[in-house]
Structure 1
Amino acid sequence: MALLAAAGTRSAPGVLLVPLEEAFGWGRSITALAAGIGIFLYGLVGPFAAALMASFGLRRTVLSALILMSAATGASAFMTQPWHLIMTWGVFSGIGSGAVAMVLGATIVNRWFVSHRGLVMGLLTASTATGTLVFLPLLAVLADSGGWRSVVMAASAATALMVPIVWFFVPEKPGAVGLLPYGALRPPPDTPRRGILAAAFGSLQRAAATRTFWYLAGTFFICGFTTNGLVGTHLIAFCSDMGIPQVQAAGLLAIMGIFDLIGTTASGWLTDRYDPRKLLFFYYGVRGLSLMYLPFSDFSYYSLALFAVFYGLDWIATVPPTLRLATEAFGEQDAPVVFGWIAAGHQLGAASAAFLGGLLRDTQGDYLTMFLLAGSTGLLAAGLSVMIHRKAAPAVA
């Protein structure tokens, strides 16, 4: 639920592009810049958030992040200048949402589960991606009926609502409630606490010495570039350019969210059984071809529905196999923090696409070049995936 609420908040700039342009006269590159900064910080905070969860506590970290997100988005209701948008939706919302993101899922999976990790990571990842998409129709309706301020207040209220729920219902670890991790025969050994910076940068230093890290970071950069950076931020505006109403376009993203829930959960199940490199090759290849197809479609109901189904199934199915490869390569203790750095690459790619998409739209008048570029990077990621060296996971006692 926390991942759903945080992801829904993170997706709101996609709905705000056109309303803010109409209300303040800001070009899409301005709003896209704020969205890009938020997406970048959303990823950059990840490894530090994972280290913070290990030292300061998971529940405290998540609660602090939710409060910061709620305060930042609520304050944006009073903005009048572009820098207000950048600070609230870019800087502070990005920092807060970075702690309630994929690294939270990775920490939960490694802390609470020994078996079925791929499936659980698929479910948690689906919550993140589905929250990004399924709330967009509601936010679009609010923007149409109540203006952009109703959108930011709804986002603020959603994250504020999660604060008492997390406070009362999220335990710190299995031992805190007298349980073993699922599938474990004995309690996990206590790990020594490390400083936040030592944990974050120490894990990065060890991981960066391997090719596996750079292949995973590179493919995940492209994952972000081709999902929430481009489609999540610009698809509604792209459809608006093609004469499709904003609410209908947001409904298209909601359809993607529903199919993403199926696709990413299935990806987790498959990751427990098959070579994750082959899965990544298939996912990135299908995604690249889908993005190249969209600009040349006729934007009819049938064409858009076809794109929504194929793209939705593949939206963020890459996460479970990527986490598995990271855990195999870097070990259970370092994996959440290393995955945080890999996820930072994801969000750097997303931020690049969010800003570049707005810039190309403002300078060229359409999104054709951007979608072709993104599709090409998807095919590149498919090739990089099969180059990743895989180390067999140790047997579980």
Structure 2
Amino acid sequence: MDSVLTGGRGAIAWRAFLCQNLAVGAAFGGFGIAVLPMQELFDVGRGLATLGLALAVLVMGAAGPLVANLIARFGHRTTILSGIALSGIGYLLLALAPTLGPDGIYLVLFAYCLPIGIGLVMFGPFAASMLVSGWFQPNPATALGFVNMPLLFAILPVAGAPIIATYGLGTFYLLLAGLHLLLLPIAMGVRDPAEHSSGHGRVRATTSMRGILSRPVFWLIAAGGGTLSAIGIVGVSHLVAFGVERGIAEEQAAMLLSATGAASVVGSLAVGMMCGYLGAARALALIGLVTAAGWGLLLATTNIPVMLTVVLLVGAGGAGVFPAVNVLAGQIFGVGALHRVIGLYGLANLPFTFLLPPLAGVLHDRAGGYGPVVMSLIASAVVVALLFLGLSGMRRRGGAAAEMV
């Protein structure tokens, strides 16, 4: 870990860490505590109130291949700085939305969809991971785990909820825009891997896009990983509202959301170690089983210590999905094709990450409660666990089975 945090490469890792944290913390952590105030302010249903983050995720997934090309053409620094500025403009628009009355919800949806959604992929996990992957070859796993620890996601719900309660949504979003402004001079220090004196350049893709898409294993990874990611997004979007509906004070529900973020800080590193011990496919299967069991317990109890323990485990597993998918894709397709595979992965799992969170809100409104929503999450997580267990078995058997994937 010391080599990740020190020296010239360490400075790059720290900058990537700060970029990823602001992108994810503001978009996901900030959204989770804003859903109920937003629903009340604009007088809309839960489905529409939670649509903003789903739109951001939709654009983030769709824009992955495009942003990879922007990085190749203009470099990491220009792309990341542009993403920070674009995302900051999005939060300025969110700060203005409450002044528009009920129609402000449409400005909210626009802001999350375009400036924030595009900004997320330009300076968030995808761009940050590509940056450190190039700088930390031939083994970027530890650096990827560090960079993807969402520390701000853990802090923001607890720090932001009192701000919203006291000063309103507009002030909260204005503060997030200010954080983007503070990040700009830090991101100015980003340099492309090709500038590294030891000669580590960008990893060249060795598998064609068509070759990746033609393999069934790619679609299995996209479906399984996409479902687990979507369940995590549902948790971020609905956990506070779910807790309040179960009779928990809003401050305690916000604490649960914050605990999810705290677990995410160590989850990516822990799952990375688990991948080395169990294999990436089995690690993903275990994440699915823990997710299913965790939501079952959340539905069965309102005991805060028990719920806190559960969300810590579920949050840690959810944070490990992206690193585990990276490891699995590298093992199957090769490190040279990893960036292309991950770009296509983000695009292919859009039906899961885009549709499931707002559908959870609609199902809640139709059913009059979160019971059916949680049961659907449990069933989906179990199916994903079985899929990855099957993939692990096929890879271990090798031979013909391996060729099938």
TM-score by length of 2: 0.85
Equivalent residue for 2:27? 10
1:172 aligns with 192
1:285-313 CA deviation, whole Å, 9 max, x = no partner? 1112211221121x122221221222122
Matches within 5 A, 1:296-315: 296-297=300-301, 299-315=302-318
What corresponds to 1:265 in structure 2? Answer: 269
Identity of matched residues, %: 20
Aligned mate of 2:76, from 34, 58, 63: 58
Give 1:27's match in structure 2, choosing from 45, 53, 66: 45
Paired residues of 1:118 and 1:272 also in contact (CA < 8 A): no
**Number of paired residues?**
372
CA contact (8 A) 1:117 1:272 kept: no
Assess, with a 3 A threshold, how the Cα gap between structure 1 residues 91 and 259 changes in structure 2: closer, same or farther.
same
Q: C-alpha separation between the residues in 1 aligned to 2:360 and 2:172?
A: 23
**CA displacement at 1:342 relative to structure 2:** 1.3
Task: Note if contact 2:93-2:107 (Cα within 8 Å) is conserved in structure 1.
Answer: no
Aligned ranges 1:85-234 → 2 under 5 Å = 85-127=108-150, 130-167=151-188, 169-173=189-193, 175-181=194-200, 188=201, 203-228=208-233, 230-234=234-238
* Residues 227 and 350, structure 1, Cα contact 8 Å, conserved in 2: no
Q: 1:395: which partner in 2?
A: none
Runs of 5+ consecutive residues of structure 1 not aligned to the other structure = 182-187, 193-198, 393-397
Sort the Cα spacing of 1:251 and 1:190 in 2 relative to 1 into closer, same or farther, 3 A: closer
Rounded to whole Å, the distance in 1 between the matches of 2:254 and 2:277 is: 35
Higher helix share: 2
Q: 2 CA distance for matches of 1:41 and 1:294?
A: 31
Q: Per the alignment, do residues 353 and 133 of structure 1 end up closer, same or farther by CA in structure 2, a change over 3 Å counting? A: farther
Counterpart of 1:4 in structure 2: which amino acid? N
Map 1:301-340 to 2 at 5 A: 301-340=304-343
Match in the other structure for 1:184: none
Whole-angstrom distance in 2 between the partners of 1:153 and 1:239 = 27
User: Secondary structure of 1:171's partner?
Assistant: coil
1:69-84 alignment runs, 5 A limit: 69-79=87-97, 80=100, 81=103, 82-84=105-107
Q: What is the DSSP-based 3-state SS (H/G/I as helix, E as strand, rest coil) of the residue aligned with 2:48?
A: helix
* Code of the aligned partner of 1:123: F
- Tell me how far apart the structure 2 counterparts of residues 38 and 383 of structure 1 sit (CA, whole Å): 29
Pick closer, same or farther for the CA change 1:345–1:137 going to 2, 3 Å. Answer: farther
TM-score, normalised to structure 1's length?
0.87
**Helix, strand or coil at the partner of 2:44:** coil
Q: CA deviation at 1:218?
A: 0.7
Matched residue type, 2:167: G
Alpha-carbon shift at residue 346 of structure 1 (Å): 4.7
State the superposition RMSD in angstroms. Answer: 2.4
Aligned equivalents of 2:183, 2:351: Cα separation in 1: 27
Structure 2 SS opposite 1:269: helix
Q: Is the contact between residue 57 and residue 172 of structure 1 (CA under 8 Å) also seen in structure 2?
A: yes
Report which structure shows greater RCO (CA 8 Å, sep ≥6): 1
Q: Which moved more, 1:367-376 or 1:246-255?
A: 246-255
| Counterpart selection for 1:378 from 363, 378, 381 | 381
Note the C-alpha offset of 1:62.
0.9
Match of 1:277 among 259, 278, 281: 281
* Range that drifts further, 210-219 or 113-122: 113-122
Report the secondary structure of 1:179's partner residue.
coil
Q: Identify the range of structure 1 (6-15 vs 64-73) with the bigger mean alpha-carbon deviation.
A: 6-15
Q: Distance in 2 between matches of 1:104 and 1:323?
A: 14
**Contact 2:229 2:321 (8 Å CA) reproduced:** no
Q: Give 1:3's aligned amino acid.
A: Q
Give 1:138 deviation, angstroms: 1.4
Give the counterpart letter for 2:27 in structure 1: R
